[in-house]
Amino acid sequence: MQTELSQKLGVEHAVFGFTPFPAVAAAISRAGGFGVLGAVRYTDPDELKRDLDWIEAHVDGMPYGLDVVMPAKKVEGVTVADVEAMIPEGHRQFVRDTLAEHGVPELAEGEASGWRITGWMEQVARTQLDVAFDYPIRLLANALGSPPADVVARAHDRNVLVAALAGSARHARKHKDAGIDIVVAQGYEAGGHTGEIASMVLTPEVVDAVAPLPVLAAGGIGSGQQVAAALTLGAQGVWLGSLWLTTTEADLHSPALTRKLLAAGSGDTVRSRALTGKPARQLRTEWTDAWDDPAGPGPLPMPLQGLLVAEAVSRIQKYEVDPLLGTPVGQIVGRMNSERSVQAVFDDLTRGFEQAVDRVNRIAGRSGQ
C-alpha cells in the first residue's frame, strides 16, 4: 500500500492513523503506517511532553505526527469564563434534568471535569506546538481547517508537512491557497466533525480541486478493499481514526463503552451537535436523542455547547451510564466487532488490499482479451 506520499515520508503503507492514545500512535508507526497523536486533550504541556517522550521511546525510529485543533482566525481577549457566561440557564437546567432522569452521580467534591473544551482554544494549541516542535514530528494536522499562516510557516521551517481536513472541494481549495501540503478529504461517514458529502463523491472532487497536492481519503474506511478504492479514486493514502478505538492498545478507560462499540452496527451512529455544537458523528444514545428532540432547547453553537456539557460528559463516562454513554465514531463501527491489536488490523488491511488489487487486475486482464 505504497504511494508517492508514503515513500516521501518513509513509511511502508499509506495508512495514516489518527488516535488520542500514544500507545496506538506508536503501534501504527511500528506496523508500517503513520501514527498521528491527537493533542486536543492536552491542556497541560507537561503531559504532552511526557507522552511524546514515550512515543519517541517506542516508535522504533519510525515517523509520526501530531493533530491539533486550531482556528485559522484569532479572537483576542476572550476567556473561557467570558464564554461560559453566555450559556443560558435554561440549557444548564436541561443538562441537570437529563442527568437526574438517568441517575447520574455527581463528581466527587473538588474533582475537576476530565473532558474540557479548552483544548480547542488557540492559545492552548500554540502551547502544544511549542512542545511538539522540539520533537522530530514529520506532520502537523489541523482538524479545524488551515492553521494560521505563521503556524504553517513555522512548520515548514522545520520541514514538517502540514495537513488540513476538508469536507468539500471549496474548503480544500482554501487549504491549497493557504500553503497546506496535504488535504484530508473527510466524508460524511467519518466520526467526529464531518460535512454532508459522502467519501465516494468527495474524494475525487478534492483530488481534482487541489491537484497536484496529495489527498488522503477519510470516512467509512476500515478494510483493505476500501483502501484500494480510495487510491483508485486518486487519493495518495487514507486517514483512519475510528478503527483504532477497539484495538488492544487503545485505552478507553470504559469496558462498557468498548462493549457498545463492538456491538454497534453501521446504522447506530448519528450526526449530532450534542457534543460540541457542530455536527459530529457519534454513537446514537439517549443523550444525543435528548439534544436532537425538537421538544428540548437544542444544542448551543460552538464553543458554548462543549463548555455546557463538559462536566456532564465526564460524569457519564466515569460512571459508565450505559443509556447515555457514547463517543465520536464513524459508520465503520459496524466492522469493529472484535478487539484486535494494531498489527492485526494492518495484517487485515494489507490482505484485503492485495485481494482487491488482484480482483481488479483479473477484471482488467479479461476486459483486454
What pTM did the predictor assign?
0.93
User: How far apart, in whole angstroms, are the C-alpha atoms of residue 317 and residue 82?
Assistant: 27
Q: Are strands 237-240 and 215-218 parallel, antiparallel or unpaired?
A: parallel
Q: What number of residues does the chain have? A: 369
User: How far apart, in whole angstroms, are the C-alpha atoms of residue 235 and residue 218?
Assistant: 10
User: How far apart, in whole angstroms, are the C-alpha atoms of residue 278 and residue 270?
Assistant: 13
User: How far apart, in whole angstroms, are the C-alpha atoms of residue 245 and residue 249?
Assistant: 9
> Which among 170, 148, 171 is positioned nearest to 162, based on CA atoms?
148
**pLDDT tens digits in sequence order for the chain, 369 residues long:** 899 999 999 999 999 999 999 999 999 999 999 999 999 888 889 999 999 999 999 999 999 999 998 866 655 556 667 778 899 999 999 999 999 999 999 988 877 665 555 556 677 888 999 999 999 999 999 987 899 999 999 999 999 999 999 999 999 999 999 999 999 999 999 999 999 999 999 999 999 999 999 999 999 999 999 999 999 999 999 999 999 999 999 988 899 999 999 999 999 999 999 998 999 999 999 999 999 999 999 999 988 898 899 899 999 999 999 999 999 999 999 999 999 999 999 999 999 999 999 999 999 886 544
292 near 270, Cβ under 8 Å? yes
Q: What is the model's pLDDT at position 43?
A: 83
Q: What is the model's pLDDT at position 161?
A: 98
Q: What is the model's pLDDT at position 113?
A: 65
170 near 94, Cβ under 8 Å? no
User: How far apart, in whole angstroms, are the C-alpha atoms of residue 344 and residue 97?
Assistant: 44
> Which among 48, 39, 25, 20 is positioned nearest to 119, based on CA atoms?
39
Q: What is the model's pLDDT at position 144?
A: 79
C-alpha cell at 100: 437526574
**What residue ranges define each of the domains in the chain, with the CATH number in brackets?**
4-71+120-250+339-364 (3.20.20.70), 80-112+252-324 (no CATH)
> Which among 180, 329, 318 is positioned nearest to 263, based on CA atoms?
329
DSSP 8-state secondary structure symbol assigned to residue 244: G
User: How far apart, in whole angstroms, are the C-alpha atoms of residue 215 and residue 235?
Assistant: 5
Q: What is the model's pLDDT at position 307?
A: 87
